């Protein structure tokens, strides 16, 4: 799995990294840019070797295929 950490205080985000590496970069960012504030924000998860996120396109394709099958069965 790959993880990307987003800062809860500004627009900073880490690159896609392993969990411990991403967490460390987020803590380093907070220590440098937001001292005294505990690290927060969002954590995005994804697959290693992500290719830009085709998952939504695949899901829509499967949905269309299922609708076509359902329509063919009604006849």
Burial of 22 (0-12, 13-18, 19+ CB in 10 A): buried
Q: Please, are residues 50 and 2 in contact by the beta-carbon 8 Å criterion?
A: yes
- Rounded to 5 degrees, what angle do the CA atoms 25, 31, 34 make? 110
What six digits make up the tokens of 4?
């990307």
Per-residue pLDDT of the chain (75 residues; tens, 9 = 90+): 899 999 999 999 999 999 999 999 999 999 999 999 999 999 999 876 555 556 688 888 889 999 998 888 876
How far apart are alpha carbons 45 and 27 in whole angstroms?
18
pLDDT at 9: 94
Ranges of each domain in the chain: 2-73
pLDDT at 75: 64
């Amino acid at each position: 799995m790959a993880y990307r950490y987003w800062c809860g205080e500004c627009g900073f985000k880490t690159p896609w990294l392993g969990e411990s590496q991403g967490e460390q970069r987020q803590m380093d960012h907070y220590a440098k840019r937001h001292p005294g504030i505990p690290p927060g924000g969002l954590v995005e998860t994804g697959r290693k070797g992500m290719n830009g996120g085709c998952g939504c396109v695949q899901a829509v394709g499967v949905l269309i295929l299922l609708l076509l099958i359902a329509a063919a069965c009604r006849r």
